[in-house]
Amino acid sequence: MSVPGEPPVSPRLAEARRFLQGRQANWASRSGAPPTDDPIAVAQRRANERETNAVRDGAFIREGAFKYDATDEEDRWLRTRQIIERVSPGPFEDPRYLEMLARQAASIELALSPPRANPGIPPEVWSRIIIGTTGEPRSEAYSAVVAGTVVLAISGGMMDFMYQSAKALALAWQAKPASDGATLSFSGRPEDTEAVLNSDPYPVRLFRDTLTSWLYRGRPTAPSSVMPPPDRQAPIQLLINGAERFVLAHEYGHALLHHLKGAGLFSPADSPNDSPWDKEFAADAFALMSVIESSAALDRLPPNMALQGAAMAMKTHEIFDVVFHMTSDGSTTPEESATHPPFFQRIALLERMYVELHPDPETARQDLEGMLVPSRTLDQIWQRVRPELAEEFQVGRPLHPVWTST
């Protein structure tokens, strides 16, 4: 099926779809996940629900606590549908997650396409990229080239884990009286967070249960998880949007800077150093710029708020790496990876780029405090969870089979 603005389905796109669907089916069989009937219809129905629930407000569209330019939002709705059609999901795709990721992919593609970007990336490049989720037990996304098309696959478990992490840290913030014109206000000061955690054990318990559920039950769905109160839902959604977009933009960076640059479609200047670490740093830099530009153009967000989710996503990756090594080999510090630089270096790159790109370096350094509040709060929660998990891991409880079937 083709959509206006998208080229007809090519044999190589069909092959890339089969590759992705094969990976999804493989991991579904290992975890026992059931298929979904007509996942493309379900994903499009969720896109319909998003549009139906939006509220017109003059030249703007409101979705919950968020307000968008109406024309930009309608463009994003259309591009989201086109991306879902481009993927044409198979029976083991999670259509709920696909719609969410398609929206973030639409934000990236719109921000980097004409007329918002000049010269911008042409449509035929986007047609060579498809996205999806898998049941693979991993805390990161990855990309693969299949028949000249790039498949960007994101772990559904990772998406769950980021959501529960965002919920835990938002619940650890201390509510404050809202200032004039604001509807919500929270303090992310470390001492205020410590006071909340001393009086309310739920954020720590939620984060701990999420980790142990993923490791021992195969899915990060904590039994203690409950719907957050209404006043916390907007900051949680803001963090999740930012985290998903950054993770996806990082993989788009690999697609555009590395996988497709020799395809005659998009040929940026070669990096002077083509090592794996340099490729990761380049993809992070691309993701930072994509998140900043798309959030400013489509979401009316300042850069430091747009990047809160990016810093949180990196912190969740970092924590899970430590946890997995604690459970699998008893080590407390993961060995240095040959393919990925340490997270503290990756976060330092984001901070340095933020200051360098800002017209006022002093203001930029102040902004960084706000950008890093969520990741700092999550680290405070982790410091409380870590001793509990270390004791549990010493018992030698076996991991869920999905972690040992790779």
pLDDT tens per residue across span 280-318: 999 999 999 999 999 999 999 999 999 999 999 999 999
Half-sphere exposure of 57 (CA within 13 A, CB side): 14
Q: How far apart are CA 95 and CA 87, in angstroms?
A: 11
Nearest CA to 12 out of 98, 109, 129 is that of 129
pLDDT number for residue 179? 67
Question: Cα–Cα distance between 386 and 363 in angstroms, integer?
Answer: 35
Provide the 10 A C-beta neighbour count for residue 249. Answer: 27
Checking if the pLDDT of 223 tops 50, the result is yes
Instruction: Provide the mean pLDDT of the chain.
Output: 89
Strand partners, 68: 61
| 303/305 Cα distance (integer angstroms) | 5
Structural tokens at position 111? 């921000």
Max Cα distance, the chain (Å): 60
238 — pLDDT class (breaks 50, 70, 90): very high
Lowest mean pLDDT among 143-147, 227-231, 261-265, 402-406: 261-265
- Residue 307 is given by DSSP the state T
Top pLDDT among 61 and 119 is at 61
Per-residue pLDDT tens for 243-252? 999 999 999 9
* Average pLDDT estimate for 263-285: 69
* Alpha-helical segments (H) within 88-226: 95-111, 123-126, 156-171, 190-199, 202-217
Residue 119: cis peptide before it, omega within 30 degrees of 0 = yes
| CA dihedral (88, 252, 243, 63) positive or negative | negative
Give the least confident one: 6-15, 54-63, 138-147, 374-383.
Answer: 6-15
In Å, how far are 18, 19, 59, 139, 380 from 23, measured between CA atoms? 9, 6, 43, 16, 36
Residue 291 confidence (pLDDT) = 97
Task: Give the residue-averaged pLDDT of 268-286.
Answer: 77
- Mean pLDDT for the stretch of residues 130-139: 91
Higher pLDDT, 177 or 310: 310
Closest CA to 268 of 390, 119, 146: 119
198 or 323, higher pLDDT: 198
- What percentage of the chain carries pLDDT values higher than 70? 91
| pLDDT tens, residue by residue, 70-93 | 999 999 999 999 999 999 999 999
- Reading the block at residue 259, the tokens are 């996988």
Residues 164, 204: contact at Cβ < 8 Å?
A: no
Residue 54: per-residue pLDDT: 96
Given a cut of 80, is residue 34 above it in pLDDT?
yes
**CA-CA distance, 236 to 163, in Å (whole number)?**
8
pLDDT score of 183 more than 80 = no
Listed residue (245, 225, 233, 227) closest to 186, CA to CA: 233
pLDDT band at 271 (very low <50, low <70, confident <90, very high): very low
For residue 222, the model assigns a pLDDT of 80
Token reading at 32: 């026992």
Cβ density class 102-121: b for 16+ within 10 Å, e for less:
bbbbbbbbbbbbeeeeeeeb
Predicted confidence at residue 326, as pLDDT, reads 84
Residue 266 Cα distances to 7, 125, 230, 253, 287, angstroms: 17, 7, 44, 12, 17
| Helix, strand, coil share of the chain (percent; to 5) | 60, 10, 30
- The pLDDT assigned to 149 comes to 95
State the pLDDT at residue 85: 97
Pick the closest to residue 159 from 114, 205, 220 (CA basis). 220
How does DSSP classify residue 256? I
User: pLDDT per residue over 324-364, tens digit each?
Assistant: 888 877 676 666 778 888 888 999 999 999 999 888 988 99
